[in-house]
Structure 1
Amino acid sequence: MEHTVEPVGRQVGYLIHYERNFENLRSQLENLHGAKNRMKHMVDEDKRKGKQVHTDVQNWLTEANKMIQEANKLLDDEDHAKTECFCGVCPNLVSYHQLSRKSAKLTKKIELNKKVEFPSVSYNAPLEEIFDTPSEDYMAFESRISVVNKIMAELRNPVTNLVGVYGIGGVGKSTLVQEVYRQAKTEKLFDDVVLVLDAKQFPEVEKKERIQKKIAEKLDMDVQESQDMEARAKHLWNRIKDKKSLVILDDVWEAINLGDLGLRPMATCKILLTSRDLVSEMRTQKVFRLEVLEEEESWSLFEKMAGDVVKDERIQNVATQVAKKCGGLPVLVVAVASALRSCSTLEVWNDALRRFKSFDKEDLKDKAYLAIEWSYNQLNAEELKPFDLLKYAMGLSLVKNVDTVENARNALHSLAKKLKYSCLLLDIDDDDGRVRMHELVRDVAIWIASKDKHTFSRAYGDEVKEWPNRDFLKKCSAISLKSCKIPRLPELPWVCPKLRFFVLESDNVDDSLEIPGNYFEGMNELKVLDVTKLRIPSLPPSLQSLTNLQTLCLDQCVLGDIALVGQLTNLKILSLIHSEVKELPKEIGQLTRLQLLDLTNCSELVMISPGVISSLTSLEDLRMGSFKEWEGGLIDVRSNASVSELKQLRQLTALVIHIPDAKLLPANMFSDTELQRYTRCEHLDLDGIEAANIISNILASDGRKQLKNLHVQNNDEVTAVIKSSHAFPNLESLSLDNLVNLETAARQL
Structure 2
Amino acid sequence: MIGVYGIGGIGKTTLMHEVLFEAKKEKLFDQVVFVLKSSTANVEKIQDEIAEQLGLELCKGTESERARTLFDQLWKEKILIILDDIWANIDLETVGILFGGAHRGCKILLTPRYQNVLVSEMHSKNKPLAEWKDALQKLRSSAGKLDALVYSSIELSYNYLIDQVVKSAFLLCGLLKQPYDAPVMDLLKYGMGLGLFEGIYTMQERRDKVYALVHRLKDSCLLLDSHSEDWFSMHDIVRDVSISIASRDHHVITVRNDVLVGWLNNDVLKNCSAVSLNDIEIGVLPKGLEYPQLEFFWMSKLRGLALSKMQLLSLPQSVHLLSNLQTLCLDQCVLGDISIIGNLEKLENLSLVDSDIEWLPNEIGELTQLRLLDLSSCWNLKVIPPNVISKLTQLEELYMGNTFVKWEFEGKEGGAEASATFVFPK
* Equivalences, count: 311
Q: Distance in 1 between matches of 2:364 and 2:286?
A: 28
- Spell out, residue by residue over 1:272-301, the C-alpha distance to the aligned partner (whole angstroms, 9 max, x if none): xxxxxxxxxxxxxxxxxxxx936614989x
Letter in 2 for 1:411: K
1:632 corresponds in structure 2 to 409
Q: Distance in 2 between matches of 1:594 and 1:468?
A: 32
Change (3 A) 1:306 1:612: farther
Say which SS state the counterpart of residue 601 (structure 1) adopts: coil
- The answer to whether the aligner puts 1:373 opposite 2:150 as a matched pair is no
- Spell out, residue by residue over 1:358-409, the C-alpha distance to the aligned partner (whole angstroms, 9 max, x if none): xxxx963223222321211111211101214110011111123211111111
Say which SS state the counterpart of residue 457 (structure 1) adopts: strand
Q: Distance in 2 between matches of 1:411 and 1:571?
A: 20
1:589 corresponds in structure 2 to 365
- Spell out, residue by residue over 1:196-253, the C-alpha distance to the aligned partner (whole angstroms, 9 max, x if none): xxxxxxxxxxxxxxxxxxxxxxxxxxxxxxxxxxxxxxxxxxxxxxxxxxxxxxxxxx
Tell me which of 380, 385, 390 is aligned to 2:167.
385
- How far off its partner does 1:563 sit? 1.0
Q: Distance in 2 between matches of 1:496 and 1:318?
A: 56
The answer to whether the 8 Å contact 1:534/1:556 transfers is yes
- The answer to whether the aligner puts 1:481 opposite 2:277 as a matched pair is yes
Q: Distance in 2 between matches of 1:449 and 1:308?
A: 25
1:439 corresponds in structure 2 to 236
Q: Distance in 1 between matches of 2:49 and 2:160?
A: 18
The answer to whether the 8 Å contact 2:9/2:154 transfers is no
- TM-score, with length taken from structure 2: 0.62
> Which runs of no fewer than 5 residues in structure 2 stay unpaired?
22-33, 51-81, 86-109, 119-143, 173-186
- How far off its partner does 1:631 sit? 3.5
Change (3 A) 1:560 1:467: closer
1:641 corresponds in structure 2 to 421
Letter in 2 for 1:454: H
Say which SS state the counterpart of residue 113 (structure 2) adopts: helix
Q: Distance in 2 between matches of 1:338 and 1:631?
A: 54
The answer to whether the 8 Å contact 1:306/1:340 transfers is no
Tell me which of 366, 370, 394 is aligned to 2:192.
394
- The answer to whether the aligner puts 1:451 opposite 2:248 as a matched pair is yes
Change (3 A) 1:138 1:407: closer
1:545 corresponds in structure 2 to 321
- How far off its partner does 1:470 sit? 2.7
The answer to whether the 8 Å contact 1:527/1:549 transfers is yes
The answer to whether the 8 Å contact 2:5/2:113 transfers is no
- The answer to whether the aligner puts 1:405 opposite 2:203 as a matched pair is yes
- Spell out, residue by residue over 1:73-111, the C-alpha distance to the aligned partner (whole angstroms, 9 max, x if none): xxxxxxxxxxxxxxxxxxxxxxxxxxxxxxxxxxxxxxx
State the identity %.
40
Say which SS state the counterpart of residue 211 (structure 2) adopts: helix
- The answer to whether the aligner puts 1:495 opposite 2:277 as a matched pair is no
State the structure with bigger RCO (CA 8 A, min sep 6), 1 or 2.
Answer: 2
- The answer to whether the aligner puts 1:555 opposite 2:337 as a matched pair is no
1:296 corresponds in structure 2 to 17
The answer to whether the 8 Å contact 2:342/2:367 transfers is yes
The answer to whether the 8 Å contact 2:4/2:111 transfers is no
The answer to whether the 8 Å contact 2:332/2:352 transfers is yes
- TM-score, with length taken from structure 1: 0.37
- Spell out, residue by residue over 1:139-163, the C-alpha distance to the aligned partner (whole angstroms, 9 max, x if none): 9xxxxxxxxxxxxxxxxxxxxxxxx
- How far off its partner does 1:567 sit? 1.0
2:301 corresponds in structure 1 to 525
Where does 1:171-182 land on structure 2 (aligned, <5 Å)? none
Q: Distance in 1 between matches of 2:272 and 2:293?
A: 6
- How far off its partner does 1:429 sit? 5.0
Tell me which of 291, 295, 314 is aligned to 2:45.
314
Change (3 A) 1:563 1:308: closer
- How far off its partner does 1:136 sit? 7.3
2:218 corresponds in structure 1 to 420
Change (3 A) 1:138 1:376: closer
Q: Distance in 2 between matches of 1:317 and 1:489?
A: 66
Say which SS state the counterpart of residue 232 (structure 2) adopts: coil
Say which SS state the counterpart of residue 307 (structure 2) adopts: strand
Say which SS state the counterpart of residue 385 (structure 1) adopts: helix
The answer to whether the 8 Å contact 1:572/1:593 transfers is yes
- How far off its partner does 1:525 sit? 1.5
Change (3 A) 1:579 1:489: closer
Letter in 2 for 1:408: R
- The answer to whether the aligner puts 1:570 opposite 2:368 as a matched pair is no
Change (3 A) 1:627 1:418: same
1:97 corresponds in structure 2 to none
Letter in 1 for 2:193: G
Larger Rg over CA atoms: 1
The answer to whether the 8 Å contact 1:335/1:372 transfers is no
Q: Distance in 1 between matches of 2:338 and 2:356?
A: 12
Q: Distance in 1 between matches of 2:111 and 2:198?
A: 26
Where does 1:657-736 land on structure 2 (aligned, <5 Å)? none
- How far off its partner does 1:314 sit? 0.7
- Spell out, residue by residue over 1:459-500, the C-alpha distance to the aligned partner (whole angstroms, 9 max, x if none): 2x345578655344222111111114x568795743222212
Where does 1:463-482 land on structure 2 (aligned, <5 Å)? 464=260, 468-482=264-278
The answer to whether the 8 Å contact 2:282/2:310 transfers is no
Say which SS state the counterpart of residue 615 (structure 1) adopts: coil
Letter in 1 for 2:277: L
1:738 corresponds in structure 2 to none
- Spell out, residue by residue over 1:670-723, the C-alpha distance to the aligned partner (whole angstroms, 9 max, x if none): xxxxxxxxxxxxxxxxxxxxxxxxxxxxxxxxxxxxxxxxxxxxxxxxxxxxxx
1:41 corresponds in structure 2 to none
The answer to whether the 8 Å contact 2:354/2:376 transfers is yes
Letter in 1 for 2:196: L
Say which SS state the counterpart of residue 482 (structure 1) adopts: strand
- Spell out, residue by residue over 1:583-613, the C-alpha distance to the aligned partner (whole angstroms, 9 max, x if none): 1111111001000001111121111110101
The answer to whether the 8 Å contact 1:335/1:375 transfers is no
Q: Distance in 2 between matches of 1:335 and 1:382?
A: 26
- How far off its partner does 1:341 sit? 5.0
Where does 1:194-343 land on structure 2 (aligned, <5 Å)? 293=14, 296-297=17-18, 312=43, 314-315=45-46, 337-338=113-114, 341=117
The answer to whether the 8 Å contact 2:294/2:302 transfers is yes
1:742 corresponds in structure 2 to none
Q: Distance in 1 between matches of 2:116 and 2:35?
A: 12
The answer to whether the 8 Å contact 1:630/1:640 transfers is no
The answer to whether the 8 Å contact 1:457/1:479 transfers is yes
Change (3 A) 1:365 1:584: same
Q: Distance in 1 between matches of 2:244 and 2:49?
A: 29
Letter in 1 for 2:404: F
Change (3 A) 1:496 1:304: farther
Letter in 2 for 1:495: E
